[in-house]
A = this chain, B = another copy of it.
């Protein structure tokens, strides 16, 4: 009972949320985006169980479609499919978090040099607009939206390279980073400092690929450093340890 009660409220949120505006009939892909966004925005927290029946009822589709969506999310490491236990939002391990940020530094930095060479004026304007929206969301206290926009910004930045394969990979890494922030992030300051993205755009616009790459490296390292990856916060919640004082 204690576990199953962790989620149902969020599914109600889905109904009343206008973002998933009653797309009952067409758009199976829209269901995927809805769930993915909910996870990225931390409306569905790591560890939350995703029962097939519940999702099927919420979105007005059958379990068949739900399973397809969950499988796709599982392949992107956003949800974890335990053989007979069902699906739950992935709770990234410390090693996983480390791997994801190592991958991001490797790929995103390298792509900056290509992006600086290929970027167009229209794309620069688009990036500035995205940055503006992100800061706007951050300013008005919409942390959830800011997190999603930040991931979208990094993903769009990677897509400037023109390499679809690497861009998609970065997109997945950014999504997983949102999960990592949800688990290991300090609620005090979010991952991306707003002014960083603006500076990044400047460097790209000036064609300073090398500097953009270096800046991106520092940017990502600073995000990673801001995480509180305590080794001891792993494994069992240690009921004994937690309630030791109470029992003492």
Instruction: Report which A residues bind B (CB closer than 8 A).
Output: 68, 71-72, 75, 95-96, 99-100, 102-103, 106-107, 110, 163-166, 169, 173
Chain B residues near A110 (CB-CB < 8 A): 106
Q: Is the CB of A166 within 8 A of B71?
A: no
Chain B residues near A100 (CB-CB < 8 A): 165
Partner of A166, one of B68, B106, B163, B166: B106
Can you list the 3 inter-chain pairs with the closest CB atoms, starting with the nearest?
A99-B165, A99-B163, A103-B166
- State in angstroms the CA–CA spacing of A96 and B99 once bound together: 26
Q: Is the CB of B102 within 8 A of A166?
A: yes
Partner of A72, one of B71, B106, B165, B173: B71
Main secondary structure of the interface of A (DSSP, over half): helix
Q: Is the CB of A103 within 8 A of B71?
A: no
- State in angstroms the CA–CA spacing of A166 and B96 once bound together: 11
Chain B residues near A68 (CB-CB < 8 A): 71
- State in angstroms the CA–CA spacing of A94 and B144 once bound together: 39
Partner of A164, one of B75, B99, B173: B99
Chain B residues near A96 (CB-CB < 8 A): 164-165
Closest Cβ neighbor of A169 among chain B residues: B169
- State in angstroms the CA–CA spacing of A110 and B103 once bound together: 10
Partner of A75, one of B72, B99, B103, B165: B72
**Nearest chain B CB to A219 CB, angstrom units:** 19
- State in angstroms the CA–CA spacing of A165 and B107 once bound together: 12
**Nearest chain B CB to A153 CB, angstrom units:** 21
Chain B residues near A102 (CB-CB < 8 A): 163, 166
Chain B residues near A169 (CB-CB < 8 A): 103, 169
8 A/B residue pairs, CB under 8 Å, sorted by A:
A71-B72, A95-B164, A96-B165, A99-B163, A99-B164, A103-B165, A106-B106, A106-B166
Q: A96-B165, A103-B169, A106-B106 are in contact. List 17 more A-B contacts (CB 8 A).
A: A71-B71, A71-B72, A75-B75, A95-B164, A99-B164, A99-B165, A99-B166, A100-B165, A102-B163, A102-B166, A103-B165, A103-B166, A106-B107, A106-B110, A106-B166, A165-B173, A169-B169
Closest Cβ neighbor of A77 among chain B residues: B165
